[in-house]
Every structure is written in structure tokens, then in C-alpha cells.
A and B are shown apart, each in its own frame.
Chain A
Amino acid sequence: MNVTHDDGIAAELLPVFIAEAEEQIAALEQLLLQLEDTPDDRDLLDALFRCAHTIKGSAGVFGLSRVVDFTHHVETLLARLREGQMVLTPKLSTLLLQSNDEIKLLVSSAQKAQAESDEVVSAREMLVQRLRAAAGELPATMAGPMAPASADASSTETGTAIRRWHLSVQFGADTFRHGMDPLNILKYLGTLGCIADVTCDTLAVPELESLDPESCHLAFEFNLDTASTRDAIEQVFSFVREDCVLLLTEPGTPPSRVRSRDESLQTRVSAGPPATDRRQRAGGTATAPDENGFIRVQANRLDEVIDLLGELVIAGAGASLLARQSRQRGQIEANQRITRLIEGIRNSTLKLRMVPIGETFARFRRVVRDTASELGKDVLLEIVGGDTELDKAVVERIADPLMHLVRNALDHGLETPDQRLAAGKPAQGRLTLAACHESGNILIRISDDGRGIQRDKVLQRAWERGLVEPGVEPPDADILKLIFEAGFSTAEAVTNLSGRGVGMDVVRRNIEALRGSVVLTSKPGQGSIIEIRLPLTLAIIDGFLLGVGASKFILPLDAVVEVIASHTGAATAGAPTTSEHQGRSCVELRGQILPVVNLRTLYGLDSLQPERSSIVVVRSGSRRYGVLVDVLLGQHQTVIKPLGLMLRSLRGISGSSILGTGEVALIFDVGSLGELASGGAKRANATHTAAPPRMARSE
């Protein structure tokens, strides 16, 4: 965020506000959608109201009048719902969702102070009118549409009579340091009503010589004419509640003054929990955990730590290698301790980046709702395993492909209620988003109970598009894979939803760019399942280091099942067959055939096959295969570096890593190496038998 200090503390804290407001907006949306199922749920209604109120309140502190004005109307309507004066109809729900979108827009544009076009303003005015109409007659004391938050929604319980409150407020010494400006707070208070007779206790300000100009010594007394309730007035001070002493005198009772600071500290307003979390976050003091135990940290700082950690892992590996070579016991032990600690730091640090995927899934509720109603379909979205965690970078980059797949399922997979009833299925379709961990990967499954994929139609299209020789019928599993080929689209009519030029091939490419894989299965008439497997993190993994000749390779440790000894010739007895030329062979393992890939042949490594070698058994999804290697070099903390352009087309390899010696090791992509092992990618491997060049670390 490029906000300079000159823009003031408010500008510096604006990103914090925006992040918080975005959370509230997302929560609002989820609550609205939940309410559609249970329109009378008081708790949900209360939570909904609180969300809107919080957005309005904090926007007010930042002087974002557009957000305050608009959110106020939403809040009024929500208050009516909460009071039970109205019931949430689907129409109302749609209006509130649209309004929520508008709040989102206003919040996100809060950082740009540019003027709005007339179009935008009038569109918002339309929404306001609809909100006002929906909320029924507005209280008579409110004049004009722009009457600011003078009728705080909670005031409905006491009517809207304007009453005079006397306020006596003494700001704490740290008010300025926490980024709060009493001037802004008083200004915002002014939006609740009319402030009169402000007096500042000028004598409380210390002598010029002894004044710490960054400490706040201001105390004020004033009257406030407002229809708002005590809660609403106190809410204005929520950001400084910890710092200030506030005395709010009921209308009709004689005003009392804030007495000495020490004395009045005992009489702090105790309405509601102290807003410590808010203040700490808003004050930018991200070091103190709030009541939920969360700390806000800028993502780039975290990335910096992880980058450094990567370097530390490499340097640590170098140091322990030197220690081993020195054969000095003390040194070796010291290095082992360091290595263990680095490992611990690595695991804890990577955990910092882990976020539950549920938030991403929850975003689809709205998409499913809107899309389904647009298409005249009735769809129930089920979310399973939303608390499964994965790297934030992966979550962010998987959201778009997921969105596309969900839309596809809604558009092509699920049928209309009539079609479903005709097919003997319940009218309501079911779409399930599930996530779970599976051997070092995360598995995301999108399943629907729609019509499934028509194999013949896919084949027909593939013939037409020249993806398959006309007349040739590949195996069923391969036919479904064609959907992910570039230039394939089964949409008979290009609808608004899919067929917008983003094909399934883009989805596949995006997933593969994350070192993931996507598999589609489908039963005609019963639905389809799309399974996406993604690595948990993009940065560092536990690897298993292998050597073939002078080349080093790394397998993700989670994928390794076991290691078996292999004697030369066992796998390659007799005259080499075609598949052996391509590095493929088989061994028998406990009565089962295990396909084995010979790296030396596959990558054309020019070294002699040693007498003894090992086969590492690897698991990839539901398959197992073996990798024939010369030496096992053991577990290795692997910092993943991207492959250079030249090597990116190399099959079976997903990245590279720098070893402690400065050598480069190539990291296997378990999925695509498995295809090579079982001969599933005949076309590809013929062109990719280039030896991995021996590289020195270039810096």
C-alpha cells in the first residue's frame, strides 16, 4: 500500500479499515444467504445488523461519508427486519445483496478520492430509494434523503424524539499515538445530531515547556441533540474507548463533569465489551493479539520471511555438509541441532501462510444462488471440509479456476427442475464442494448430481475439432480428458455464463501452474466429479533426495511409500523392448505388477547402471509406481525454485532446488511422472528425453 506519511494517520489506517470492512461485507453476504433458509433467525438478524452497523461506524471515523450515508439506509432496513416489523422476502434479500455489493464498491473506492460519475451516483440513489421504500415510511423527523445517521436504527425502540445529551469526554494520553483524532470523532458525532456549546478544558493542556506534543491532554464538554440512543453515541467512541473517559448524561439529569483522571478511570463506561481488538488493529499495533487471537500482518512481510527461510534452509544444508566432511563430532552435532531448529522454524513459518479454504468456498454461495436463479434452476450448495488449510497463495490462485468449474457444473451439469423430475431425480439439484488432505496434497472435489458428461457428444466434438483422428475411439477415461484440451467447448449455445472464451484448458493450465492436477469422472445421468489435487505449499517441501549417475532428483517425501532393492537386470532382462527404450518396465511387488520408470533411460543420462540399485515406490492418487534410482540420499528440506524456461517442457519435473553443495536437483512432479511410468503419455515422452543439464548455481 503506497500511502505516504504525509497523508495522515487516517490514510495509513485506511487499508486496515478496508480489510476489516471487506470482512464485514463478506460476513453480511453469508448471513443474508443463510437467512434465506431461516428468515426468522433472531441471532442471524442481530449479527447482520451488527455487521452493517460496524461498517457504518468505522467508515464514519474515517470520514467516508458516502459509505456512511449509504450504509445507513441498509441499516435502517435491517433494523426493521430485526424488530420483526418486516419479514425477509426473497425480493428483499436480493435488494440487500445488491446493496451489499454497493457498499463493497464504495469501500473499495474509498482510497481513491476521485469524483464519481453521474451514472454511479444515480444508480446508488436508485438503490437508496428502493431501500427507503422497502423500509416503509421514514420517520417524520428525517428530512430529505441525505439526512445523515440522525435516526440511528436502534432508536426505533424509543421513537425518534430528539433529546439533549450532555457529554463530558477526556481523551487519554495515547489517543494521538493510536492514530485517533478527537477532531474526527467529534465531527462524526455531529452526524448523529447537533453538537452545541463545545468547551475545551484549555487549562488541562500542560505548560508549553513540559508539553509532550504527541500526548493528548484534551477534554471536552458539550451538548448533543440527537434521536440516537446511548448505545449509538457510545459506539462513536468505540475506537478510543480504552483511551478515553466518557461521561454520558441522560437527558433531564443535571450534567456531571469528568472529575480527576484517576478517579474517573474507575467510572469508565462499561456498556459493551471494551473494543480492545478494534483499537489495537486500527492503531496499527499489530503486535498485540486481539481477543480472537489474530494478528494482522502484511502479506509481503510474510513472503520476505519465507524467502529468507528458503535461503536459510539452503545455507543450513551447506553448513551441515561441511560439518560432515570435517568429521568432527562436535561440529556435526551442533549442525544437526541447527538443522532440526531450521526444520521447526520452517514448519511454523509455513503454517503462518495457511488459510482455510472455506472462505473461498463460501464465496460460491452467492454465485450459485445468482447463477441458478438466472438459469431457472434450483440448486443446493453443500460445502464439506471448509476448514482444510492450504497456502494462501494457492487459495488465491485456485479461486478463479474453481469459479469456472462451479459455473460449468451449474450451466452444463445440472438440469432444470422439469428435466430432473422427468429423469426421476429430485427437483433440487445438488452441488458439493469438498476439500480434504491427501498425502501432502489438498484434494478439492466438485461434484454434482446432474446429467453427467455425454461421452458420445465429447467424442463427436473432438473429432470435429481434430483433437482425435475421426473414427478413432480412445478409452473412456481419455475421452473425458479431451474436455481439458485447448480448443474444446461443448456448450451448444454460448451462454452468458460459460463459453466466454475461458475454456477448460485454461482451468487445467492454471491448476498445473500450481503443480496440481485435475481429473474428471462422470456417470451419464448421475453427475460428474472433478477432483483437483494441489500441493499444500508452493515454497518448501520435505523431499527425498535420490541420485542417478551424477544427477540428483527429489521426490516429495509424502508421496514415497517404500523402497525396494533392485538387482541390475531384473527389470531389464532380455532384449530391450520398445517400452524399455522409453524407460518403462515392470516388477512384481507382493503379487502385484508395479510399473517402474528408469530415470537413466527416460532422461538419457549417460552413466553406467550400477550393480545394485533401488526402486522407490511412489503413490500418486490411487496409483502406485516405482522409480529406479542408483542411490538414496535421504530426506532433504527442499526449497522449491521454479524451472528455467528451457526446462519447463521437461516431462515429469515440476521444479528445481539448490542443494547444500550448490548442485541443482530436479523435483519430480509425481502425477506426470506416473503417467510416464505407466506409458500414459506416449506422445509426450518421445520429444522430451533430453538430459537434464548439469547446472551450477548461478547467482
Chain B
Amino acid sequence: MQANFSLPSELTIYTISELHPQCLAWAATDSDADEGEPGTADGLRIDAQAVQEVDAAGVQLLLSLSNALDRQQRPLRLVRPSAPLLAACMALGASGLVAHADLSGEGQ
């Protein structure tokens, strides 16, 4: 199953300002566009395999995006999160971000 969107390779304080409007746009997309049955939506799938550099600012933005999506009953699903992203999320106690991650990229 394809991801709707994808994260850039750098998710740090330097790129965060460019990424913020994108996140807003992603959160504003119609949940019907998500893959899967409407209502039982699989969530917003974001391809995260390209992320090579990530810092706390990057994780914070993802947390904020995740919170916004949660309010829409629409979990954030990171697809194939890269090792640096996984490590950063774990180290910062943001395991919720990767709890629903689709590690294989195959979907459910």
C-alpha cells in the first residue's frame, strides 16, 4: 500500500519551517483520501524511510502533527521509519509516534 506523503531526508531545526506548512496541509487533507475504508481509516500514511537526520525539533513537529491527526480520529502512520528516526523517537520517549508505524510498508 502506498503512502500518501513522504518525509524529507532532513528533519531538523533547519528544515522545520519549510515542513510545517506541509504538515498543516497534510492534516487538512480529507481523511477519505486515506487508504482503507472510510471511518475505519488506516490513518495518514507518511513515508519516513528517507529520514536520515532528525533532531528534537523534528520529533516535536511530528508529535504536533500526530496530536492534530488524533483529534480527527486518524492516526499518524509512519511507513518504514528509518533507523535514525526510530532511534530519536525512542530516545525522546515519543514511542507513540512509532507505535502504529508500518515497518514493512506493506500495510495491513
Q: Which residues of A contact B (CB under 8 A)?
A: 5-6, 8-9, 171, 175-176, 181-184, 186-187, 190, 198-200, 202-203, 205-209, 211, 213-214, 216-218, 220-222
User: Considering the chains assembled together, what is the distance between the CA atoms of A190 and B93 in angstroms?
Assistant: 14
Q: Are the C-beta atoms of B96 and A202 separated by less than 8 Å?
A: yes
Task: Identify the interface centre among B10, B27, B56, B67: most chain A CB within 10 Å of its CB.
Answer: B56
Distance in angstroms from B68 CB to nearest chain A CB is 4
Distance in angstroms from A109 CB to nearest chain B CB is 22
Q: Identify the stretch in B14-22, B32-40, B43-51, B100-108 within 8 Å (CB) of chain A at 4 or more residues.
A: B14-22
Residues of A within 8 A of B63 (CB): 200, 202, 205
Q: Are the C-beta atoms of B92 and A208 separated by less than 8 Å?
A: no
Residues of B within 8 A of A187 (CB): 91
Interface residues of B, count at CB 8 A: 32
User: Considering the chains assembled together, what is the distance between the CA atoms of A206 and B71 in angstroms?
Assistant: 13
Q: Are the C-beta atoms of A183 and B92 separated by less than 8 Å?
A: yes
User: Considering the chains assembled together, what is the distance between the CA atoms of A5 and B88 in angstroms?
Assistant: 21
Residues of B within 8 A of A175 (CB): 56
Q: Are the C-beta atoms of B14 and A186 separated by less than 8 Å?
A: no
Q: Are the C-beta atoms of B60 and A205 separated by less than 8 Å?
A: yes
Q: Are the C-beta atoms of A200 and B57 separated by less than 8 Å?
A: no
Q: Cβ of B79 < 8 Å from any Cβ of A?
A: no
Q: Are the C-beta atoms of B68 and A214 separated by less than 8 Å?
A: no
Q: Are the C-beta atoms of B64 and A205 separated by less than 8 Å?
A: yes
Given known contacts A9-B13, A181-B55, A213 and B93 CB-to-CB distance under 8 angstroms? no
Q: Are the C-beta atoms of A207 and B14 separated by less than 8 Å?
A: no
User: Considering the chains assembled together, what is the distance between the CA atoms of A202 and B71 in angstroms?
Assistant: 14
Question: What residue of chain B has the Cβ atom nearest to residue A221's Cβ?
Answer: B93
Q: Are the C-beta atoms of A213 and B17 separated by less than 8 Å?
A: yes
Q: Are the C-beta atoms of B94 and A202 separated by less than 8 Å?
A: yes
Distance in angstroms from B7 CB to nearest chain A CB is 14
Beyond contacts A6-B14, A183-B59, A214-B13: 17 other A-B pairs, Cβ-Cβ < 8 A, are: A9-B13, A183-B55, A183-B56, A183-B91, A186-B92, A205-B64, A205-B67, A207-B67, A208-B23, A208-B64, A208-B68, A211-B20, A211-B64, A216-B56, A216-B57, A216-B60, A217-B60
The B interface, classified by DSSP as helix, strand, loop or mixed, is helix
Q: Cβ of B83 < 8 Å from any Cβ of A?
A: no
**B56 in complex: contacting residue of A5, A176, A203, CB < 8 Å:** A176
Task: Identify the interface centre among B27, B61, B91, B96: most chain A CB within 10 Å of its CB.
Answer: B91
Question: What residue of chain A has the Cβ atom nearest to residue B54's Cβ?
Answer: A183
Q: Are the C-beta atoms of A220 and B92 separated by less than 8 Å?
A: yes
**A5 in complex: contacting residue of B14, B24, B54, B91, CB < 8 Å:** B14
Residues of B within 8 A of A208 (CB): 23-24, 27, 64-65, 67-68
Q: Are the C-beta atoms of A209 and B24 separated by less than 8 Å?
A: yes
Q: Cβ of B53 < 8 Å from any Cβ of A?
A: yes
Residues of B within 8 A of A190 (CB): 91
Given known contacts A213-B17, A214-B13, A222 and B57 CB-to-CB distance under 8 angstroms? no
